[in-house]
């Protein structure tokens, strides 16, 4: 990255936007909507997507990272949940922003968010399999059956059923909600998110 691009990236205007969007994301991170089992929907990645679309992939990831770091101050999972959230958020943001910035149209934004949703879902399944479920089993001294009982989803009686029938559909839904809301509000808010040109 050239000095000119770096300078633009970390301009006062961009840093201010990143700080505001990170603050919004951090507040939204605290608001959770129960959906199924122990899975809860939050809208904290909407400001992250908006930052990535308006400023680029790197600023989007910085906003996501700041949100995750702030989340550590009230973490109930010793930072493990925030790590998983960062990985899933990055899996959504990187494809969405990369596709959008190749050709900035509403159509490419939607295509990018669809691709990002699919990537986020795949990463969510992996993160739950190898990060979240092992953490909660160790932290709460439960075996997999205990986790399944805690999830309380009818017909889900194995780890892979939990991952494929609950984790994956939940993250597809989450990605669809994040994408739909971002698509609805990005254009009206676009003048506030872009530096004016003389």
Distance CA 121, CA 143 (A): 24
Q: What is the pLDDT of residues 164-173, one digit of tens each?
A: 999 999 999 9
* pLDDT recorded at residue 166: 97
pLDDT at 68: 96
Question: Is the confidence at residue 189, as pLDDT, over 80?
Answer: yes
User: What Cα–Cα distance (Å) separates residue 165 from each residue in 6, 27, 157, 159, 160?
Assistant: 44, 30, 11, 10, 8
Q: Say which CATH class 3-193 falls into.
A: mainly alpha
pTM higher than the cut 0.85: yes
User: Residue-wise over 57-73: b if at least 16 C-beta within 10 A, else e?
Assistant: bbbbbbbbebbbebbee
Mean pLDDT, residues 84-98: 98
Give the model confidence (pLDDT) of 94-120 as tens digits.
Answer: 999 999 999 999 999 999 999 999 999
What tokens does 71 get? 């989340």
C-alpha distance from residue 41 to each of 14, 36, 76 (Å): 28, 9, 17
The structural domains of the chain, with segments of one domain joined by +, span 3-193
């Amino acid at each position: 990255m050239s000095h000119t691009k770096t300078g633009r990236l970390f301009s006062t205007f961009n840093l201010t936007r990143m700080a505001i969007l990170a603050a919004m994301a951090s507040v939204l991170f605290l608001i959770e909507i129960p959906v199924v089992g122990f899975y809860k929907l939050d809208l904290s990645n909407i400001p992250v997507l908006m930052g990535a679309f308006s400023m680029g992939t790197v600023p989007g990831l910085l906003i996501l990272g700041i949100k995750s770091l702030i989340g550590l101050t009230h973490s109930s999972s010793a930072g493990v949940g925030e790590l998983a959230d960062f990985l899933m958020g990055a899996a959504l943001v990187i494809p969405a922003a990369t596709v959008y910035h190749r050709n900035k149209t509403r159509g490419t934004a939607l295509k990018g968010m669809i691709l990002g949703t699919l990537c986020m879902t795949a990463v969510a399944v992996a993160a739950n399999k190898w990060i979240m479920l092992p953490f909660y089993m160790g932290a709460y001294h439960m075996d997999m059956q205990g986790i399944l009982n805690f999830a309380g989803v009818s017909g889900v009686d194995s780890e892979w059923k939990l991952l494929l029938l609950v984790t994956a559909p939940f993250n597809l839904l989450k990605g669809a909600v994040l994408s739909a809301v971002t698509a609805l509000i990005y254009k009206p808010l676009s003048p506030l998110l872009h530096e004016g040109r003389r």
